[in-house]
Amino acid sequence: MGKITSALQKAAEERFDRIEKISRIRERDHLIVKKIGESKVDANVVTYFDSKALISEQYKILRTNILSMNKGKPPRSFIITSSVHSEGKTVTALNLAVCFAQAVNKPKVLLVDADLRRGRVGKYLGVHQRSGLSEILRGETKLEDALYHLDIDNLTVLNAGSVPENPAELLASETMKDFLATARTRFDFVLIDTPPIILVTDAGIIGAQAEGAFMVIQAGRTQRGIVKRAEELLNQSHTQLLGHVLTNIEYHLPEYIYRYL
């Protein structure tokens, strides 16, 4: 029993030492990205904690489906939106970003919180970053000063930053277009969390600049008419709808599948 306790204690100490390196600076493609340690990642980001969990496997299936799009030439920049609030779009964006970063070839992934009105990516990751996309678009900070990553080195995150007075205008600016162009050259995949498409125009603005959109729909809550209206708004903004992600699904998992996993 003593040996087991000692081994567990040693493993815990090694884990602590690895994540305790706060604000370590590293260079990647001419960008200096701060590393944030001792983060308080929310339990909803399941792929971060357990890549073999049943929920994580569902995100892997979604990742596979995306990578298989367009005959193996998938979209490299896309938004994740929803019809209305509280459908799980931010949790989906976080889990999918982590899942992409965990791929065998270790692609460089950038997760952008473009919800300048009530961004929550930083809150889910437990990182209180003062500067973010809002400050970049206003010319108040440099890109390298706002980017950070946790202990997944090939996953970089950009928080929304402070709430501006004119979020839609900032997102439609030339500075935003330049930011996305730069991001595409430095990262393999750019995932962008946006506000719901029906509530504000922001998702349509960014979606038209990206390669398309995935719409998150909460099962048992979102009415078909609302989803149809959201699709119409995306179409009007010249945003290609790449697919839907259904959340809050409850189903019985056969025992033989559970044993396999």
pLDDT digits (tens, 9 = 90+) for 40-99: 899 999 999 999 898 999 999 999 999 999 888 999 999 999 999 888 999 999 999 999
Whole-number pLDDT of residue 134: 97
Whole-number pLDDT of residue 68: 94
The DSSP line for the chain is -HHHHHHHHHHHHHHHHHH--TTEEEEETTEEEEEP-S----TT-HHHH-TTSHHHHHHHHHHHHHHTHHHH---SEEEEEESSSSSSHHHHHHHHHHHHHTSTT---EEEEE--TTT--HHHHHT---S--HHHHHTTSS-HHHH-EE-S-TTEEEE---SPPS-HHHHHTSHHHHHHHHHHHHH-SEEEEE---TTT-SHHHHHHHHSS-EEEEEETTTS-HHHHHHHHHHHHHTT--EEEEEEES---PPPHHHHHH-
In the CATH scheme, what architecture does the domain 22-260 have? 3-Layer(aba) Sandwich (3.40)
Please report, for the chain, the start and end positions of each structural domain, with discontinuous segments joined by +: 22-260
pTM: 0.82
Percent of the chain's residues with pLDDT above 70: 80
Indicate the average pLDDT of the chain.
Answer: 85
Whole-number pLDDT of residue 30: 45
Average pLDDT over residues 111-135: 94
Whole-number pLDDT of residue 39: 60
